[in-house]
Each structure stands twice: as C-alpha cells, then as structure tokens.
C-alpha cells in the first residue's frame, strides 16, 4: 500500500473526510456511509496482511454501522424502493439560538483544529521518516563476493552465511536474504564516524557480530569483521531503485492484457 503515494494520500483523505462529516449532526449519516466502505477496506487489509490493529479497526467499522442503522429504512425507501421520503426531523440540542450557535462554533473549531493537528502530525512524520528513519546505507545491496574465514563461500557454509542480499531500510534494522530466499533480521547499531556495525539477533540478544564497513563508491559497500563466530569479508553493490518494476512501470490508461509478474 505504501508503494503508491497517491493511493496512500487518497486513503488518508477518505478517512479524514468521513471523520469531519461525523462531527456534525446534519452530515453524520453521510459520514457513516462514507466511513463504512473506507473502514471495510481497512479491516480487510488488516486481516489479510496481519496488521496488529484488527480489533480497533473492527470497532470503528461497527460504530459507523451503528450510526447508519437508524437511517437504513429511509435510505432503502429512497435509493432502492424509490418511495418519497420526508425530511429528517432536525431537533436542536438547545432551545436558545445563541447556545445552538455556540455549539456550531465549537464543532467547527474542533473540525479545523483536529484537521490542522492531523496534517501537521503527518508532515512531521513524513519529514522525520525521510530525515531520520532511513538508514545511511538505505537500499538493497547484492553480494558480489563473500569470503568466510579466508575462503570463498561454498554450499557447505551455514545458511545464515549464504548471503545473497542485504537490505538497509530503518537505521536500527538489517535484513539479510540468503541464497535460498530465506530472510533473517538483525538489530543494528551503526557508528557512522568509525564506520562500524554491531549486530544482534532479534530473538537472541546474546548473539553478537561486529563489522567494519567501507564505501569505495556510492554504489559499492565492503564489510570486514566477525559474524556468527566466523571471519567475514564481503563486497556488495547497491541496486538502482528505478530498476524495481513496482516503482518504475508508471501509469497506463489502457492495458490490453493483465500485467501479472
């Protein structure tokens, strides 16, 4: 989902619009009708991709359905049975007009303030992600040469030493993909001044590895140190991001055949 920025923005704006409509009594039903399909998509994504907010999203969907239920009969008469429907009764909370105006002002202030807060929080998160949440070695690095204890790796090497790719995304995590496509993640502490890496296994804090790295070129990386009790030397090359099909295929109005890859 995050691979497409327009889709991510569309999903966020849909949720924001539904929330704003729910703040006002006259638009609450419309807000619930907008929220139901939006949240249904969120719930399905959470269940199908094992996102850990399943119950919370289900609760939000249930609340949206609860708000829409009192109007379902009138909506069915209007949209399905094509019967005339009388306007909904508008019963104000307050008898005095000034209190009613004050309530509208409070609702509007909440809507503007909450929207501003959400947009600001999103901007801060985006800036922090771009500036701080990205590893200095960000990218997918293909292993071109790997020596274990001074010897070129062979089929007899342990699985965690059969490196194929190293993936640097967040600055505190290193993901290593083996030649059989299994993947192991490690906690990572980088020292950019001394150009060193300290690794620990996520499920075994007693396991440790220490590597020194070099950057002979912008797309080249060298590693030298100990890993899993073995002396390790590696040479890697970073893949060019535009080569990833998901990122560079672009948009097509007409596709004659399904582009399944």
CA separation for the pair 25, 29 (Å, rounded): 8
Question: Which pLDDT score, from 0 to 100, does residue 157 have?
Answer: 63
The helix or strand, by DSSP H or E, that contains position 151, with its residue range, turns out to be: strand 151-152
CA separation for the pair 104, 95 (Å, rounded): 14
0.85 exceeded by the pTM? no
Question: Which pLDDT score, from 0 to 100, does residue 245 have?
Answer: 72
Question: Which pLDDT score, from 0 to 100, does residue 156 have?
Answer: 58
For 139-243, CATH number?
2.40.128.20
Question: Which pLDDT score, from 0 to 100, does residue 210 have?
Answer: 93
**Is 8 in contact with 32 (CB distance < 8 Å)?**
no
What is the rounded (10 degree) CA torsion for 148, 150, 151, 156?
A: -30
Question: Which pLDDT score, from 0 to 100, does residue 46 have?
Answer: 92
CA separation for the pair 153, 144 (Å, rounded): 11
**Is 185 in contact with 202 (CB distance < 8 Å)?**
yes
DSSP state, 85?
-
Question: Which pLDDT score, from 0 to 100, does residue 151 have?
Answer: 82
- Pairing label, strands 173-178, 151-152: unpaired
Question: Which pLDDT score, from 0 to 100, does residue 213 have?
Answer: 94
Triad 28, 32, 33: Cα angle to 5°: 120
pLDDT along the chain (261 residues), means of 10: 81 91 89 96 93 93 94 88 83 80 88 89 76 77 89 68 87 86 88 91 85 92 91 88 69 76 62
Question: Which pLDDT score, from 0 to 100, does residue 1 have?
Answer: 72
3-state SS of the chain: helix, strand, coil percent to 5?
A: 45, 25, 30
Q: Where are the domains of the chain?
A: 5-131, 139-243
Cβ partners under 8 Å of residue 105, min gap 6: none
CA separation for the pair 198, 189 (Å, rounded): 5
- Write down the residue that tokens 């209190």 correspond to: 99
pLDDT tens-place string over residues 145-162 = 988 888 877 655 666 678
């Amino acid at each position: 989902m995050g691979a497409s920025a327009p889709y991510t923005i569309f999903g966020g704006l849909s949720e924001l619009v539904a929330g704003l409509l729910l703040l006002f009594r006259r638009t609450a039903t419309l807000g619930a009708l907008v929220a139901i399909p939006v949240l249904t998509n969120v719930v399905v994504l959470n269940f199908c991709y094992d996102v850990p907010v399943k119950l919370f999203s289900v609760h939000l969907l249930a609340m949206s359905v609860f708000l829409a239920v009192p109007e379902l009969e009138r909506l069915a008469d209007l949209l399905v049975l094509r019967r005339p429907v009388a306007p909904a009764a508008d019963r104000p909370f307050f008898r005095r007009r000034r209190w009613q105006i004050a309530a509208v002002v409070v609702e509007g202030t909440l809507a503007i303030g909450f929207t501003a807060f959400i947009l600001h929080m999103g901007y801060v998160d985006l800036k922090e992600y771009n500036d701080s949440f990205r590893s200095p070695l960000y990218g997918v690095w293909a292993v071109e040469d790997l020596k274990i204890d001074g010897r070129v790796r062979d089929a007899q090497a342990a699985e965690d030493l059969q490196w194929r790719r190293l993936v640097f995304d967040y600055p505190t995590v290193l993901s290593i993909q083996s030649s059989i496509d299994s993947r192991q993640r490690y906690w990572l502490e980088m020292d950019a001044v001394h150009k060193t890496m300290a690794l620990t296994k996520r499920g075994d804090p007693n396991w440790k590895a220490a590597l020194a790295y070099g950057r002979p070129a912008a797309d080249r990386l060298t590693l030298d140190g100990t890993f899993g009790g073995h002396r390790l030397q590696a040479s890697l090359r970073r893949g060019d991001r535009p080569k990833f099909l998901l990122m560079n295929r672009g948009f097509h109005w007409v596709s004659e055949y399904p582009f399944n890859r």
